[in-house]
Amino acid sequence: MSRRLPLLINGEFVASTTDQWIPVTNPATQEVLCEAPAATPAEMEQAIASAKAAFESWKEVPVSERARLMLRYQALLKEHQEEIAEILSQETGKTFEDAKGDVWRGIEVAEQAANIASLMMGETVENVARSIDTHSWTQPLGVCAGITPFNFPAMIPLWMFPLAIAAGNTFVLKPSEQDPMTPNRLVELFLEAGAPPGVLQLVHGGKEQVDTLLTHPDIKAVSFVGSVPVGQHVYRTATDHMKRAQCFAGAKNHMVIMPDANKDQVINSLVGASCGAAGQRCMAISVAVFVGDSKAWIDELKEEFANIRPGAWNDPQAAYGPQISPQAKQRVLTLIKQGKEEGATCLLDGSDCTVDALPDGNWVGPTLFTDVTPEMSIYKEEIFGPVLCCVSVDSLEDALQLVNNSPYGNGTSIFTASGAAARKYQHEVEVGQVGINVPIPVPLPFFSFTGWKGSFYGDQHAYGKQAVRFYTETKTVTSRWFEDDIPASGPNMSIHLK
């Protein structure tokens, strides 16, 4: 019997009483690593009730004390970074370097959460009318919920609960059922850092458990990251139940290559940005838009693609790992086949990829298409595999039109030596995160993660100041004191701030 993961309810790791156990597999071998429980309705109810009860005391904990919890947590995460990354590599197949990066990008958000006092500061104006002052505070909402995808099992949960909890909320996390071991470890360390019971709950499962969170009257806000159809369902259902929702969804990210760009940088960046993490990144570059003569570089790009290969998480020569599941691999293969049938030129086909000594892994080799047009399935669908589609256009205007016609708007980049071209692109492109000679422009946590259009449903984005706004309510106080009421003398009062 493989290891069965517990739930975290009211500060205790508890064995679920469910009869539905979800196998968690190593995607490089199909070995079952453990099983995750589909939490029962009673367990979901207990987790939410415990978070609700814990909110009453947690919101009264001074902000500096909440910040200190985050300081301890980020120190523990750093201490355990490699250990967490190893767990993460086992269940996702990510290379060790990539897995460490996944953990690190989450640690940076925990660090930011330690600055919560300044992030929560309100505003004041004196004398809004004669002897009347107005100030605003930010106060926590209550119980918040987070629903996270498989592709960043450390970073994305850490986008959510540290900031929500630092702001004074309590939190119920429902991570992906495909790689729940990493979130379990993150949560263990949060308790070890000194989190009071009930402040963070961890439940496992799929649609049924998510729908409970979306419809439960005691959940005040929902953060979601995942695919487009599920993101739309989560946004519609949560808002229909009068909750705040921020839903980060799928993407199709374009990199525009101007003929004056640095060719070596372009080729190097395209290989890493499209095939890294087996293409399973919401900010992966999946379309290369060659402007004018830059299309002559596609032959060299093909040579570089042919030089990389997937492999085991601890193989230093492996550029990336397997697809998360056999179904995910099959989906990528079907799209590659459709690409060929619909008339694109497949310069390199990774459909029959094998890896020595790992015959059962969900491997897909690097795949390069050219002559791709916007009507083709490989252009329209988020492939989420190591597949790059090359499109050729005549001008920057044409590139802008192509990118702006995409229903997605998560990330994009332009490679050029021209400040004017870069300025025009960053100004006119309808995408939320823009890189200039930077292929994957994921902002650090003092900014926010700002996908647009079909890649995001909501208004306040992840981490940074926007997340603090998302997880808080503003209270505006207008006050007036009458000088006649000042006592002539009174008791000697002193207070001490600890």
State in angstroms the smallest separation of the CB of 314 from ligand NAD.
24
Nearest-approach distance from CB 133 to ligand NAD, in angstroms:
41
Least distance (Å) between residue 61 CB and ligand NAD: 29
Spatial separation of the C-alpha atoms in residues 337 and 330, rounded to whole Å: 11
Question: Taking a C-beta distance cutoff of 8 angstroms, is the pair 23, 113 a contact?
Answer: no
For residue 389, the one-letter residue type is C
Stretch that binds ligand NAD, among 111-119, 124-132, 249-257, 474-482 (CB under 6 A): 249-257
CA–CA distance, 294 with 288 (Å, rounded to integer): 11
Closest approach, Cβ 283 to ligand NAD, in A, equals: 7
Binding-site size for ligand NAD (CB under 6 A) equals 27
Give CA–CA dist 214/366, Å, rounded.
38
Output DSSP code: residue 292: G
Of 94 and 174, nearer to ligand NAD (C-beta) is 174
Selected range binding ligand NAD among 69-77, 107-115, 150-158, 314-322, rule: CB under 6 A: 150-158
- Which residues inside 372-411 make contact with ligand NAD, applying CB under 6 A? 382, 384, 410
For residue 440, the SS3 value is coil
Place of tokens 């293969």: 333
Provide the minimum distance between the beta carbon of 253 and ligand NAD in the complex, in angstroms, as a whole number. Answer: 10
- With CB under 6 A as the contact rule, the residue among 18, 138, 151, 362 that binds ligand NAD is 151
Binding track over 203-242 against ligand NAD, x by CB under 6 A: ---xx--x--------------xxx--x--x---------
Site string for ligand NAD, 260-289 (x = CB under 6 A): ----------------------x-------
The span of 114-122, 184-192, 247-255, 264-272 binding ligand NAD (CB under 6 A) equals 247-255
- Give the contacts of 376 (CB within 8 A, at least 6 positions apart): 338, 339, 342, 343, 344, 389
- C-beta neighbour count of 484 within 10 angstroms: 5
Q: Give the closest residue to 362 by CA, choosing from 268, 440, 273, 279.
A: 279
147 binds ligand NAD (CB under 6 A): yes
Binding flag, residue 140, ligand NAD (CB under 6 A): no
Residue 282 catalytic?
yes
Q: Which residue is at the shortest CB distance from ligand NAD?
A: 226
**Cα-based torsion angle of the residue sequence 335, 338, 343, 344 in order, rounded to the nearest 10 degrees:** 10
* Residue of 275, 282, 346, 353 marked active site: 282
Give min distance, CB of 27 to ligand NAD, in A.
Answer: 13
Question: Do residues 282 and 251 lie in contact, with contact meaning Cβ atoms separated by under 8 Å?
Answer: yes
End-to-end CA distance of the chain: give it in Å, rounded: 51
**Closer residue to ligand NAD (CB): 149 or 445:** 149
Q: How far is the CB of 400 from ligand NAD (least distance, A)?
A: 22
Q: How far apart are CA 336 and CA 344, in angstroms?
A: 10
Between 168 and 250, CB nearer to ligand NAD: 250
Single-letter amino acid code for the residue at 56: E
Q: What is the dihedral of CA 442, 443, 448, 451, to 10 degrees?
A: -30
Nearest to 157 by CA among 199, 206, 106: 106
User: Among residues 248, 305, 320, 471, which is the contact residue for ligand NAD, using CB under 6 A?
Assistant: 248
| Residues with active-site annotation | 282
Residues at the site binding ligand NAD, with contacts judged by CB under 6 A: 147-152, 174, 176-177, 206-207, 210, 225-227, 230, 233, 248-251, 282, 382, 384, 410, 451, 455
